[in-house]
Amino acid sequence: MHFGDNIHINGGSHHIGKQEITYGGTDDRAVRDALALLLIRVDELRERLPGASGAVVDASLPAVADVGALPAERAAAARTVAGIAAAIGAVGTPVVEAANALIALFGG
């Protein structure tokens, strides 16, 4: 595990300042609660997911839950879950809403 600054410079010149990205903090509890709700909603929907879609959701959930991943990566995995749920119609709406709540907590 790494603590402290991790700075990458990819080309360019006259670099000044740095972007601060904070992991954890006040949203930890909110993220855990939102993730728990997403997992409940996915379990409720599981029987209605076609085989291939269920496999994609199952493959995406570990990335959503990975606390060591970048928020953007977690949000992308949550978008995958939301997209599959949206594709199956109104029955997928609770999953879409839960995934969107997580995406918002990850910063969009």
Averaged pLDDT for residues 84-100: 96
CA 42 to the chain's CA centroid: 14
In a domain, 88, yes or no: yes
Model pLDDT, residue 26? 41
In a domain, 45, yes or no: no
Identify whether the C-beta of residue 35 lies closer than 8 Å to the C-beta of residue 64: yes
CA distance 71 to 100: 13
The per-residue DSSP string of 77-102 comes to: HHHHHHHHHHHT-GGGHHHHHHHHHH
| pLDDT value at 32 more than 70 | yes
In a domain, 44, yes or no: no
Structural domain of residue 70, as residue ranges? Answer: 51-108
In a domain, 32, yes or no: no
User: Domain tally for the chain?
Assistant: 1
Q: What is the pLDDT of residues 43-82, one digit of tens each?
A: 999 889 888 999 999 999 999 999 888 999 999 999 999 9
| pLDDT value at 23 more than 80 | no
In a domain, 5, yes or no: no
**Angle at the Cα of 106 from the Cα atoms of 66 and 73, rounded to 5 degrees:** 50
| pLDDT value at 86 more than 70 | yes
In a domain, 38, yes or no: no
Model pLDDT, residue 1? 45
In a domain, 58, yes or no: yes
Model pLDDT, residue 14? 61
Cβ neighbours around 86 below 10 Å, total: 15
Helix (H, G, I), strand (E, B) or coil at 13: coil
In a domain, 107, yes or no: yes
